[in-house]
Amino acid sequence: MIDELIRQWDGFAVVIAYDEPTKVWLFIAMHDNTLGPCTGGTRMKLYRSPEDGLYDAMRLAEGMTYKWAGVDIPFGGGKGVIALAEPLAYGDRRRILKRYGRLVESLRGGFTTGQDLGTTPEDMLTIAEETRFVHGIDYATKSALDPGPFTAHGVFVGIRAAVAHTSGTDDLSGKTVLIQGAGDVGLPLGRALAEAGATLLVSDLDDEKARALADEVNGTVVSPDDVYGTKCDVYAPCAVGATVNAATIRNLACSIVAGSANNQLAEPEDADRLLKRGILYAPDYVINGGGATAFGLVAQGITDNTELMDRVSGIGPRLAAIFAEAGEHNESPVDAARRLVERTLGRA
């Protein structure tokens, strides 16, 4: 029930609208505005029920609070969800996007947004016809900022920081990295790691993608079923969430887990399972914050690619500090990262 979800949520506010002709629900979840306006992408997809759409918005908004604080960009956590009950009829897409745009505008900047799963740069331009609070769109070329290369760079510097923590040097030559998922993030990440001297193992459900990256970087393809038992220094999950769980942790043959996937741990207890096995874990919302960092900076008017990449590089020292603090307390980096977020929110 929607009222039950709202009662149980620790967020700041939710805004809900319903469009009767299309049977579409619009949700804007604003989790925390301590650092700045609640900001996050707008997702459009089919949901089994409005409750599922609202739950997704709340969960993702909370994740954005952590992500912004984790990369120290002055935004709060928010997320928009356009929850479809059935595929939209021709012409309804534009109508619903404009309605959503008016809803965003009514918040007068309390929520700002960008492209996400199920929305396109064209959709963002349609929303922007009604509101000033859309970021990450190049109006001249009608294209959206591609976060993949920035996220990949953040993961790259994060892997270096993890290797430095475990071996005393961030030199990647002689290190083996297994990339799971050769997509928007995995591909540029693989190239950067190979350039830095690492040996690459590549796995993807799409064998052609795995093979293309492996061929390019002189690496080896690993079958998706063999990922968890394959010996490597770094396992980089760059495909889907929850691949780090009680069953896979038993088999992992690496000393570091560091990749871009969201929600890598299936449940909170997995952080301590990794700690017990002596595997260093780079908290996902910190190491994969490169795209968010770039998005936040572009929203502040910074568009120079070199400057954006430089700022994303800050993820390396941030993770190094998290690893050091976790080491001092003999705890998981997840605990140290949570304290960093709480300190950042408290400082504001």
Q: Contact between 224 and ligand NAD (CB under 6 A)? A: yes
To ligand NAD, the closest distance from the beta carbon of 239 in angstroms equals: 3
Find the radius of gyration of the CA atoms of the chain. Answer: 20
Ramachandran class of 109: left when φ > 0, alpha when ψ lies in -120 to 50, beta otherwise: left
Q: In what order do the strands lie in the sheet with 13-19?
A: 13-19, 24-32, 76-84, 38-46, 111-115
Tokens coding 144? 């959206």
| Residue 332 touching ligand NAD (CB under 6 A) | no
Per residue, the 3-state secondary structure of 296-342, as one string, reads HHHHCCCCCHHHHHHHHCCHHHHHHHHHHHHHHHCCCHHHHHHHHHH
> Which residues ranging from 62 to 101 are in contact with ligand NAD (CB under 6 A)?
none
With a CB cutoff of 8 Å and minimum separation 6, the contacts of 199 are 174, 175, 176, 177, 219
Which residue shows structure tokens 């002596």? Answer: 278
Position with the least CB separation from ligand NAD: 183
| Residue of 23, 45, 67, 79 marked catalytic | 79
Please say which residue, 37 or 181, places its beta carbon nearer to ligand NAD: 181
Given a contact cutoff of 8 angstroms between Cβ atoms, the answer to whether 244 and 264 are in contact is yes
Residue 136 near ligand NAD by CB under 6 A: no
Q: Which of 82, 78, 86, 85 is nearest to 62 (CA)?
A: 78
Among 76, 121, 136, 186, binds ligand NAD (CB under 6 A): 186
Choose between 14 and 312: whose C-beta lies nearer to ligand NAD.
312
> Which residues are within 8 A (CB) of 96 and not within 5 positions of it... i.e. 6 or more apart?
19, 22, 24, 26, 82, 88
239 lies in the binding site for ligand NAD (CB under 6 A): yes
Site for ligand NAD (CB under 6 A): which residue of 46, 49, 215, 240? 240
Measured from the CB atom, is 103 or 189 closer to ligand NAD?
189
Q: Which of the ranges 106-114, 174-182, 274-282, 311-319 carries the binding residues for ligand NAD, by CB under 6 A?
A: 174-182
Answer yes or no whether residue 205 interacts with ligand NAD by CB under 6 A. Answer: yes
- Does the annotation mark 276 as catalytic? no
Structure tokens at 317: 């020292």
| Rounded least distance, CB 251 to ligand NAD, Å | 15
- Binding letters toward ligand NAD, positions 250-269, x by CB under 6 A: ----------xxx-------
Structure tokens at 268: 């909170």
SS (H, E, C) 123-181: HHHHHHCCCCCECCEECCCCEECCCHHHHHHHHHHHHHHHHHHHHCCCCCCCCEEEEEC
Contact between 119 and ligand NAD (CB under 6 A)? no
* Count of residues that interact with ligand NAD, criterion CB under 6 A: 24
Among 44, 179, 182, 286, binds ligand NAD (CB under 6 A): 182
Residues 269-298 that bind ligand NAD (CB under 6 A): 288, 291
> Which chain residues interact with ligand NAD by CB under 6 A?
147-148, 151, 180-186, 203-206, 209, 224, 238-240, 260-262, 288, 291
> Catalytic residues, which ones?
79
